[in-house]
Structure 1
Amino acid sequence: MSEETAEPLSPASPLTLDIVSDVVCPWCYIHFRRLEEARSAMPDLPVAIRWRPYQLDPTIPPEGVERQSYMLNKFGSQDRLDQLHAAISKEGKAAGIDFAFDKIKTSPNTLDAHRVLHWAGTQDVTIQHRLVARLFQIFFEEGVDLSDHETLANAAEEAGMDKAIVSQLLQGDADADLVREEIAQANEMGIQGVPFTLIEQRYGLPGAQPPDVLANALRQVADAKANGEF
């Protein structure tokens, strides 16, 4: 990529980010906050973010499962789980997140949450961004059950959506297959874990990258785009 300083992108041509994520992935929440920090350091760089679905465990039943036994079964022991939570909490604190793992009583199936995020994205990507922020917050910091339709509808309303319409749609299976297809596409692309950030549908960044790494990547791609390199 060019090392020359490019003119800032105009608001009419924002940099597009597709972020493959699951709302019960703590590293996705950390990535969200780190990305916000990177963006705040580059206020001149317009960015359009689209949150794409992924399910860490699609086998969880629609009503969710009891969290503690599920996590113990997944990670093998309480000591191992405590170590993981401590490491995540440390990284979260640096990103301004107060993880409250002890408050989470239910591990949800996130398909319905992704359906609501999909509807938000078709309405406005800024609404979708607000909604994903709220879902991360209420799950990881408040321990709210994301398999509960009323919870999802309330979060949608807070983000700027019509609660009545969301509630009605959640009663059926609208767009469930579409969300599953998007997840399958991510798997076909070789995405085996989240978060995964695709910049301009060309450059992939796996994992929760530090803010400076994110900022540098965004600026390099923005410069290349502004210089007509793609």
Structure 2
Amino acid sequence: MTSIRIDIVSDVVCPWCYLGKARLELAIAEVQDSISTEVFWQPYQLNPDYPPEGVDHQKELAEKLGGVENVARIHENLKALGREVGIAYDFDAIKIGPNTLDAHRLITWAGIEGPDMQDAVVSALFKANFEEGRNIGSRAVLSEIAGECGMDSRVITALLGSDADKDTVEQAIAAARDMGVAGVPFFIIDGKYAISGAQTPDMLANAFRQIAAEKSSEQQKLN
């Protein structure tokens, strides 16, 4: 069985990233009999200039996307795509547009406990924001989510109250931009293949098969 590493550059307030995660999971399930995958989440901020307390999400989105009607049209499209993969987007429930730096710090700490914990926290953050309307810029909410996922919420509360790993997250975001990442989700396979956007499960699965076949061929040549 060939093993591949998948790094996903993502922001937890990006609806396409949530869709991309669900589609990725379907793609992985499709190839799991022949390809072993490890998934790691890398930070990106769509709105790095948002203040710590966040902004009025609905107002900001309307200004950014050219009005309420455009927002509604885009959201209806996303809701339909979400239903196909089990996501129940509730865009009306989102009141605060958060700064996601602290959320990415939490994802970083979850990664220390392993890929499974990191994946669980990422899933919980997406669900909290897009389905439950919780403010994932709130440190209290982040500590709650950490606890719900099995992390020590008291430790997370203490870490969030410090500057721990702010530089780490900011440097990783800068590195992604320097690499040319201008939109998310952005998938990096084995550190050398790139796939941009929330591609369909079939497209991702075929890409994984092709990459795994090339990797297997290269290993056979070396042996």
Scaled to the shorter chain, the TM-score interval is over 0.9
1:42, 1:206 → 2: CA distance? Answer: 20
The DSSP-based 3-state class of the residue aligned with 2:144 is helix
TM-score between the two structures when normalised by the length of structure 1: 0.92
Gaps of 5+ in 2: none
The structure 2 residue matched to 1:73, chosen from 49, 55, 63, is 63
1:160 Cα deviation (Å)?
2.6
Tell me, yes or no, if structure 1 residue 201 matches structure 2 residue 191: yes
1:228 Cα deviation (Å)?
2.4
Once the two structures are superposed, the pairs formed by residues 207-222 of structure 1 within 5 Å of their partners are: 207-222=197-212
* Paired position in structure 2 for 1:35: 24
The structure 1 residue matched to 2:15, chosen from 20, 26, 32, is 26
Gaps of 5+ in 1: 1-7
* Paired position in structure 2 for 1:60: 50
Contact 1:128 1:159 in 2 (8 A): no
Tell me, yes or no, if structure 1 residue 17 matches structure 2 residue 14: no
Single out whichever of 214-223 and 25-34 deviates more from structure 2.
214-223
Q: Provide Cα deviations, 1:22-77, integer angstroms capped at 9, x if missing partner.
A: 00000000000001111111222221111000000100001111111111221121
Aligned letter for 1:115? Answer: R
1:75, 1:41 → 2: CA distance? Answer: 35
TM-score between the two structures when normalised by the length of structure 2: 0.95
Q: Provide Cα deviations, 1:86-143, integer angstroms capped at 9, x if missing partner.
A: 1111111112111000001100000000000011112211100111011111110111
Single out whichever of 73-82 and 23-32 deviates more from structure 2.
73-82
Contact 1:22 1:54 in 2 (8 A): yes
1:214 Cα deviation (Å)?
0.5
The DSSP-based 3-state class of the residue aligned with 2:53 is coil
**Identity, % of aligned positions:** 43
1:163 Cα deviation (Å)?
1.1
Aligned residues between the structures: 219
* Paired position in structure 2 for 1:4: none
1:57, 1:194 → 2: CA distance? Answer: 12
Aligned letter for 1:36? Answer: E
The structure 2 residue matched to 1:190, chosen from 158, 180, 188, is 180
The DSSP-based 3-state class of the residue aligned with 1:52 is strand
